[in-house]
Amino acid sequence: MNKLRQIWNWIDDRSGISETFMPLIKHPVPPGSKWSYVFGSATLFCLILQVVTGIGLSLLYQPSSENAYQSLQFITHQAPLGRILRGIHYFGASGMILFAGIHMIRVYITASYKYPREMSWISGVLLLFLTIGMGFTGQLLRWDSNGVWSSVVAAEQMGRVPLVGKYLARILLGGDTIGGQTLSRFFSYHVFIIPAMLFVFVGFHLFLVFRNGISEPPEADRPVDPKTYRKWYQDMLKREGVPFWPNAAWRDALFGSLVIICIIGLAIVFGPPELTQQPDPSIITTNPSPDWYMLPIFSLFALMPPKIESYVIFIGPVLSVIGLLSLPFISNYGERSPVRRPWAVFGVVCVVIFVGSLLYLGLKSPWSPDFKTKAVYAVSPAKNPVIQKGAILFYKKGCQYCHRINGSGGVKGPDLSVIGRSWDEQQLSLQIVNGGTDMPAYGGMLSKEDLNALVQYLRSKK
Amino acid sequence: MKPEETEISKGRRDFLMKLSIGLGSLAAVAASIPVLGALFEPLLRQHQYAWRNVGKAADYKVGDAKLVKFQNADAKSWSGPTAYTAAWLRRDQGDTFIAFSANCTHLGCPVRWEQDAELFMCPCHGGVYYKDGTVAAGPPPKSLTQYQVRVKNGTIQVKTAPVPITDITA
């Protein structure tokens, strides 16, 4: 044992490990920083997990437009433990986005972004967007038909940037179309470019924790005054500060470990998302939709008024970045306690409900035509031949993709199971011929007899 | 040791500082140029949009629309399945063919032709187009984009083109 201690002492003396890291590990932190402080470190643990499992995946993955899909099939179905490895990377991404969001909400509710921690907020906002960028480029690397169409969707969004949009889209895709360079480019974005920026800002974000100290738990009627705060904070630390390790850090370690164990458990039980079709842009019978954390944005695209949408796709993200970055400049002093900032809490609740509703709608996608709906006319044929003809037309003309009847059909338009009770023949034929704000005008596509049959069919729905 | 007593004079110090920073910047810029060249390669490359054969005119009845698959403008030997793209080819009347890009003008998802309904429908956000490509319902800001198409000796040819990118003014 003495010999080992001697060896360690020699290493420590010549390398300066203890001298460099002990002050960081033992630095005093405010007492009472308890469970609400674990979400930032949980995000960091998820990031480390992503780096490690990402390296594992890169050993098996073929980053080329031609072969990426086959190599993912190999990773998922053949490579030993490959399914679990992919699963951890998937749930790790979900965890990272989730905890980054919770961490941000915690920081906002306790106003930890106020003096002198403005830079922590700013770097945190950039980290959030980089994390979302990682999530998007990552799910695209599956390079199934979902991945291919996601890259087109990304290019279309780039296209909305004024003046240079077309060129940005071309740089993003690596050409005019999806092709040999597209996947290599997204691989480079996901594995080199965004992680490099992520590491720089994570390093900066952590450095700031040591420079400015973690924010003390807020108390009502103890406002932040930039003139006196730093001195007050240092005096408070001298008076009642506790060493970061282990007094505060054990919660981070415990929570972070539990998070990682849960992620691995989810990966073993549920596995990664199944791959969809081949990455062939000429296969169009596909239903592209992103992973859950992108669904709120996906929903927003469907629900926004079309007239303003092209503007919003560009201006929306720009305004949200500017808004978030300007927060610590708008209010960097004063009360921090949520008890004294009820509107801040109300705002957070509104945002959470808004994003949650968009996520729920995204899972249901009520705006999409239901291509797989089963024909109602075949299940319960009508005796009257005209009505039966109308029922067949109702299916064949695509009405049923958007309108539900007797429990079958899409939910984009109103349910028509009992439309005959309230609408007369004239109302029905006018609506069918002229369409509506969100319904095609069928006037040019139906003969008089067809129209009559459809109207009679709908009239019979009582 | 006071500053004026250092071994090199102030003028020399200034010169050496400028030299270090200047030369360092030059090296950094020189190394970056080829990297930026790789980043901007898609903008610097020569574009050639070839005509591709996509089928026989005789196979189409008036009003028919079929999905045709062809090599895109920039197929490389390492493109694999992504060397291909698709268009909806419709015989409008007589010998007039229209080739619609399969990309929805909203966010680029692939639209499907529903033959009986005579509508193009998009699965992503519910965009719908009439048979002439104009918007029938949903969020698309403009009509489906068309490829150039011609018939040569009974063979239909489509001219390859970039993925249609909708801009902010649409």
Report the run of H or E that residue A108 belongs to, with start and end: helix A82-109
Q: Which positions in chain B touch A401 (Cβ < 8 Å)?
A: 114, 121
Q: Which positions in chain B touch A161 (Cβ < 8 Å)?
A: 168
Are the CB atoms for B101 and A142 separated by under 8 Å?
A: no
Mean pLDDT, residues A181-200 taken together = 97
> pLDDT digits over A197-217, tens only?
999 999 999 999 999 999 999
Highest mean pLDDT among A380-384, A405-409, A450-454, B27-31: B27-31
Q: Tokens representing A28?
A: 């005093």
Residue B170 lies in a domain: no
Residue B93 lies in a domain: yes
Q: What is the pLDDT of residue A444?
A: 85
Q: What is the 3-state secondary structure (H, E, C) of A181-224?
A: CHHHHHHHHHHHHHHHHHHHHHHHHHHHHHHHCCCCCCCCCCCE
Residue B37 lies in a domain: yes
Q: Which positions in chain A touch B111 (Cβ < 8 Å)?
A: 284
Contact A284 B102 (CB under 8 A): yes
Cα–chain-centroid distance for residue B25?
35
Report the share of chain A in percent with pLDDT over 90: 85
Q: What is the rounded CA–CA span in Å between residue B119 and residue B65? A: 10
Report the share of chain A in percent with pLDDT over 70: 100
Query: Could you tell me if B28 and B56 lie in one domain?
Result: no
- Give the one of A177, A288, A398 whose C-beta lies nearest to B73's C-beta: A177
Q: Tokens representing B69?
A: 């698959």
Q: What is the pLDDT of residue A373?
A: 87
Residue B94 lies in a domain: yes
> pLDDT digits over A426-461, tens only?
999 999 999 987 899 998 889 999 999 999 999 998
Q: Give A369 to chain B, closest Cα distance, Å.
A: 6
- The CATH number of the domain holding residue B106 is 2.102.10.10
Q: What is the pLDDT of residue A59?
A: 98
pLDDT range class, residue A126, cuts 50, 70, 90: very high
Residue B168 lies in a domain: no
pLDDT beyond 60 at B13: yes
- Give the one of A284, A412, A441 whose C-beta lies nearest to B67's C-beta: A284
Query: Could you tell me if B71 and B153 lie in one domain?
Result: yes
pLDDT beyond 60 at B1: no
Query: Could you tell me if B71 and B125 lie in one domain?
Result: yes
Residue A312: CB atoms within 10 Å: 17
DSSP secondary structure letter of residue A334: B
**Closest-CA residue in chain B for A400?**
B117
Residue B169 lies in a domain: no
- Give the one of A152, A165, A282 whose C-beta lies nearest to B69's C-beta: A282
Query: Could you tell me if B81 and B152 lie in one domain?
Result: yes
pLDDT beyond 80 at B2: no
pLDDT beyond 90 at A351: yes
Superfamily holding A27-364:
Cytochrome Bc1 Complex; Chain C (1.20.810.10)
CATH number of A376-459: 1.10.760.10
Residue that is written with structure tokens 């770097």 in the block? A123
> pLDDT digits over A69-78, tens only?
999 999 999 9
Query: Could you tell me if B87 and B69 lie in one domain?
Result: yes
CA geometry: angle at A265 spanning A261 and A267, to 5°? 115
This complex has an ipTM of 0.91
Query: Could you tell me if B5 and B27 lie in one domain?
Result: yes
Q: Which positions in chain A touch B124 (Cβ < 8 Å)?
A: 149, 153, 287-289, 298, 301-302, 368
Mean pLDDT, residues B41-70 taken together = 91
Higher pLDDT, A237 or B6: A237
Cα–chain-centroid distance for residue B41?
14
Residue B19 lies in a domain: yes
Residues forming beta bridges with residue B84, ordered by sequence position: B71
Q: What is the pLDDT of residue A170?
A: 95
Mean pLDDT, residues A177-181 taken together = 93
Query: Could you tell me if B65 and B98 lie in one domain?
Result: yes
pLDDT range class, residue B122, cuts 50, 70, 90: very high
Q: What is the pLDDT of residue A184?
A: 96
pLDDT range class, residue A187, cuts 50, 70, 90: very high
pLDDT range class, residue A379, cuts 50, 70, 90: confident
DSSP secondary structure letter of residue B83: G
Mean pLDDT, residues A230-255 taken together = 94
Mean pLDDT, residues B111-125 taken together = 91
Q: What is the pLDDT of residue A383?
A: 85
Q: Which positions in chain B touch A306 (Cβ < 8 Å)?
A: 138-141
Query: Could you tell me if B60 and B118 lie in one domain?
Result: yes
Query: Could you tell me if B10 and B36 lie in one domain?
Result: yes
First vs last C-alpha separation in chain B: 70
**Closest-CA residue in chain A for B85?**
A282
Q: What domain range includes position B25?
A: 1-45
Contact B109 A153 (CB under 8 A): yes
> pLDDT digits over A281-335, tens only?
999 888 888 999 999 999 999 898 888 888 999 999 999 999 999 999 999 999 9
pLDDT beyond 60 at A229: yes
Query: Could you tell me if B72 and B32 lie in one domain?
Result: no
Q: Tokens representing A344?
A: 């801040």
Strands (E), A334-441: none
Average pLDDT, chain A: 94
The total number of structural domains that make up chain B:
2
Are the CB atoms for A321 and A125 separated by under 8 Å?
A: yes
Q: What is the pLDDT of residue A32?
A: 85
Query: Could you tell me if B24 and B61 lie in one domain?
Result: no
The domains of chain A are located at 27-364, 376-459
Q: What is the pLDDT of residue A203?
A: 98
Of the candidates B89, B91, B93, B84, which has an alpha carbon nearest to the alpha carbon of residue B101? B89
Are the CB atoms for A95 and A259 separated by under 8 Å?
A: yes
CA geometry: angle at B138 spanning B108 and A373, to 5°? 90
Query: Could you tell me if B33 and B94 lie in one domain?
Result: no
Alpha-carbon dihedral of residues A394, A397, A398, A402, nearest 10 degrees?
-50
DSSP assignments along A134-191, one per residue: HHHHHHHTT-SHHHHHHHHHHHHHHHTSTTTHHHHHHHHHTSSSS-TTHHHHHHHIII
Choose from A156, A172, A187, A193 for mutation: most chain B CBs within 10 A. Answer: A156
Q: What is the pLDDT of residue A285?
A: 87
Choose from A304, A368, A371 for mutation: most chain B CBs within 10 A. Answer: A368
Residue A453: CB atoms within 10 Å: 23
